Amino acid sequence: MQPNSDWHLHWNNDMLCCTNSAQSYHVDFLNPAFQHRIKSLNKKDPLIRALGLHKSPDVHVIDTTAGFGQDGVCISTYANKVTLLEQSALVHALLQNGLERASNWLAKQKAKIELHHINACDYLSKLNKSEYPDVIYLDPMYPERSKQALSKLPMQCLQTITSPQNDIHLFQIALVKALKRTVIKRPNHAIFWGKPDLSLKGKSHRFDIYLSLNQT
Ligand SMILES: C[S@@+](CC[C@H](N)C(=O)[O-])C[C@H]1O[C@@H](n2cnc3c(N)ncnc32)[C@H](O)[C@@H]1O
């Protein structure tokens, strides 16, 4: 939690909420906006294409920066299995609660999701070769607080309750452990961390794709 933050967790019946003096946020995969995102998700979606799921859905994806799980749950509708990793105890608790409350819907979607409260560098470093995932996905926090990010409540909440991580180190480990590709979501104006094999540009962000050696 960042200093001077007045965000705190509390229960509203079975719903875990993160609240400050002005606003409250909880993870809700059943809300109309997210359900619309899921219904309109198709093989042309930049996230699905960037991860290669339009061609080979039968893959294991590790989402190393789970956050509030929006991308992770989208990925789970195409991938065989998604492992979500989240280093912040508060964010992990909010996400776990959101997944539990949506469990019936997720079961109908046949989503295979595992969530771990762990730093992704530690998790990936300990994997044996037989456990390497096909795809590793990174969506690090944007260092600069853009106007757009500040306008979105989930992002305001994440920026306040998480602490900065060594994202480049995570990227370097991911490159070694991904069997097929590593994908990073970056703001369009951000510098590249290395020369990607491919980059898919959206309105405000892009997906940089680094194919694993046996894929190039
Ligand atoms: C921008 S948010 C991800 C948002 C997410 N893609 C979504 O759709 O909700 C980044 C998250 O990654 C987490 N994170 C950053 N570095 C991490 C690491 N090394 N291991 C695990 N989690 C990490 C942060 O705590 C934060 O919750």
Q: Please state the rounded mean pLDDT for residues 6-15.
A: 92
pTM of this structure: 0.93
In a domain, 3, yes or no: no
- Nearest ligand 1 atom to the CA of 119 is 20
DSSP state of 215: G
More confident call, 81 vs 7 = 81
Ligand 1 site, residue 162, Cβ cutoff 6 A: yes
Give buried/exposed letters for 130-154 (b at 16+ CB in 10 A, else e): eebbbbbbbbbbbeeeeeebeeeeb
Q: Is 18 in the pocket of ligand 1 (CB under 6 A)?
A: no
Measured from the CB, is residue 88 less than 6 Å from ligand 1?
Answer: yes
Nearest CA to ligand 1 atom 5: 67
- Whether 46 is in a domain gets the answer yes
Give pLDDT, residue 215: 60
Question: How many domains does the chain divide into?
Answer: 1
Kindly state the tokens that stand for 121.
Answer: 């560098």
CB of 83 shorter than 6 A to ligand 1: no
Of ligand 1's listed atoms, the one at least distance from the Cα of 65 is: 12
- For the ranges 2-16, 96-110, 202-216, the one whose mean pLDDT is highest: 96-110
Instruction: Give the domain extent around 105.
Output: 8-215
pLDDT of amino acid 53? 96
Residues in the chain: 216
CATH number at residue 195: 3.40.50.150
What is the rounded CA–CA span in Å between residue 182 and residue 135?
A: 6
Ligand 1 pocket check for 86: Cβ under 6 Å: yes
Tell me the average pLDDT of the chain. Answer: 91
Mean pLDDT along residues 142-160: 66
CA dist 63 and 83 (Å) reads 6
Percent pLDDT > 70 in the chain is 92
1 domain-assigned: no
The predicted pLDDT at position 157 comes to 78
Q: How large is the average pLDDT for residues 62-76? A: 97
Question: What pLDDT, on a 0 to 100 scale, did the predictor assign at position 144?
Answer: 53
Confidence of residue 153 (pLDDT cuts 50, 70, 90): confident
**CB of residue 155 inside a 6 A radius of ligand 1:** no
Decide: 136 and 103 in contact? Cβ < 8 Å.
no
